[in-house]
Amino acid sequence: MKTAARLDDLPFENHYAQLDAAYYSRVEPTPLTDPELLHFNAPLAEELGLSADAARDPGFTAVLSGNQRIAAGSYIATVYAGHQFGQYVPQLGDGRALLLGQVRDADGGLRELQLKGAGPTPYSRFADGRAVLRSSIREHLCSEAMHALGIPTTRSLALIGSSLPVRRETLERAAIVCRVAPSHVRFGHFEYFYLLQRWELLKPLADHVIDDHYPELAGFPNRYAAWLTDVVERTAHLMAQWQSVGFCHGVMNTDNMSVLGLTLDYGPYGFLDAFDAHHICNHSDEGGRYAYDQQPMIGHWNCSRLLQATLPLLDDDADKAVEIANGILNRYPAAYTDRMMALWRLKFGFLSAQEPDRDLINRFLNLLDRGKNDFSRCLRALSELDAPDARLPPLRDLVTDRDGIDAWLVDYRRRLQFDGEPDAARRQRMLGVNPKYVLRNHLLQAAIERAEAGDASEVARLFEIMRQPFDEQPEYEAHYAAEPPPDARHISVSCSS
């Protein structure tokens, strides 16, 4: 793969722009005032075929801030709908995002580049089309943190800041992230055309996704059913991965659900600090619809909306289409449960699958829940336990219920001895799946406040730490792996985040 020294040297394509105009609007970006490159994702750039020096070219920042056009770019904003907090909104769309085009990565896969915060589009609904520095930092950092955790996600190539003031709850600074993903197509894209009863437009959209990302289904009989089955299973697996690291999305509307099973749209997200199964990370979610323990069920419900919106693809006979869709949807519970149990067994160090495992795992989580003990730190401490060691483990100091954890540890050690794996090998496996570092809200808030004051160094530091979440990194342990201080344990995030 030839390395490009400039962003404009990449061989851009745009398959979405080849669809009918009903799917999008052509929009030029609104230039960002006084743009400044605050952070550059060099590892991702390398995957895209950009050199490490590409960001030094003034044209890099100019293009990603909307001040210079890519010659081969086809700037478009796509239209979609969605169920927001359970209520159907008939038209949404890319209200502050523009698709530049696609490039081929080192493996030949397609990656879309999208500018988020590039100004108003026909779908902005009277808004300014801008993103603020606060939310842009949150997305730029978390998308890479999730990638490092092995969780499917959109990513961010660059964070561009500006002196341009924008009004939210207060006056803030504008920013742009260059979001990168194989596709940004959402469940809501299909809902839009289905509920308008423009069913003839569903097939070309599905064909676009399948042709670009499921080439193995070319000429496959019932390929739409095969594709949707994969979407449902990917979504179930994604929910299991979120739960396993304590990630709360905060706004799981169908317009924020990817048809490739990616984590999409980082708004009011949060990683669990004190474990609370009912934790609500988004203070706009007054009813707790998207609480931590509700995410798997919401994933299932969202898949049901996608399947409803694609019924015309499944069969010309309406009853037969519903039967096929129900069969696909019914695969979700087992896909979620199987992946969730497999992940928990990895995190608890079990080599084999035994019937009592579920109860043992739930007892541990219930101990954390009752004491509101730190989720990530307790699982990391569990990784360091020696099965036959009679000494009191560090984990015991992290769990409020000492008697409860002592009784549990007796059963846990017995379970480990059943597998008969050497402690060193088990410990190594567990340390590779239980992160020491997660992107906690108080760490983000500190980086945001410094960046708003003109110092982006903490953004760069967090980026590097979170790229290696399973490594010890002893120089950062005392601050970045610690529980949040008391005055930072209830940082509030909302849909404007």
Q: What is the DSSP letter of 285?
A: -
Under a CB-based contact definition with an 8 Å cutoff, are residues 364 and 395 in contact?
Answer: no
Under a CB-based contact definition with an 8 Å cutoff, are residues 271 and 440 in contact?
Answer: yes
Under a CB-based contact definition with an 8 Å cutoff, are residues 32 and 174 in contact?
Answer: yes
Nearest to 172 by CA among 132, 231, 201, 137: 132
179 is in an annotated binding site: yes
Q: State CA 312 to chain mean position distance.
A: 29
380 is in an annotated binding site: no
Q: Which two tokens stand for residue 287?
A: 């009813």
Those residues whose C-beta lies under 8 Å from the C-beta of residue 290, and which sit 6 or more positions away, are 248, 249, 250, 251, 252, 280, 281, 282, 298
347 is in an annotated binding site: no
Between the CA of residue 428 and those of 241, 374, 375, 391, what are the distances in Å? Answer: 20, 21, 19, 20
Helix or strand holding residue 185 (H, E): none
Cα(184)–Cα(328) distance, integer angstroms: 23
Nearest to 245 by CA among 137, 147, 155, 338: 147
Give the active site residue among 9, 94, 212, 255: 255
256 is in an annotated binding site: yes
Which residues are bridge partners to 175 per DSSP? 131, 161
The SS3 assignment for 102 reads: strand
Cα-based angle 135, 469, 247 (whole degrees, multiple of 5)? 50
The gap between the terminal CA atoms of the chain, to the nearest Å, is 38
49 is in an annotated binding site: no
Those residues whose C-beta lies under 8 Å from the C-beta of residue 146, and which sit 6 or more positions away, are 153, 247, 263
Cα(362)–Cα(489) distance, integer angstroms: 25
Helix or strand holding residue 100 (H, E): strand 97-104
Under a CB-based contact definition with an 8 Å cutoff, are residues 77 and 25 in contact?
Answer: yes
Place of tokens 């989720």: 375
Cα(254)–Cα(241) distance, integer angstroms: 19
Nearest to 67 by CA among 41, 92, 107, 31: 31
Q: What is the DSSP letter of 287?
A: T
129 is in an annotated binding site: yes
Under a CB-based contact definition with an 8 Å cutoff, are residues 325 and 307 in contact?
Answer: yes
Under a CB-based contact definition with an 8 Å cutoff, are residues 22 and 69 in contact?
Answer: no
Q: What is the DSSP letter of 175?
A: E
339 is in an annotated binding site: no
186 is in an annotated binding site: yes
Residue 255 is a catalytic residue: yes
* Positions marked active-site: 255
Write out the binding residues for ATP. 93, 95-96, 116, 128-129, 179, 186, 265
Binding residues for Mg(2+): 256, 265
Annotated binding residues, as ranges?
A: 93, 95-96, 116, 128-129, 179, 186, 256, 265
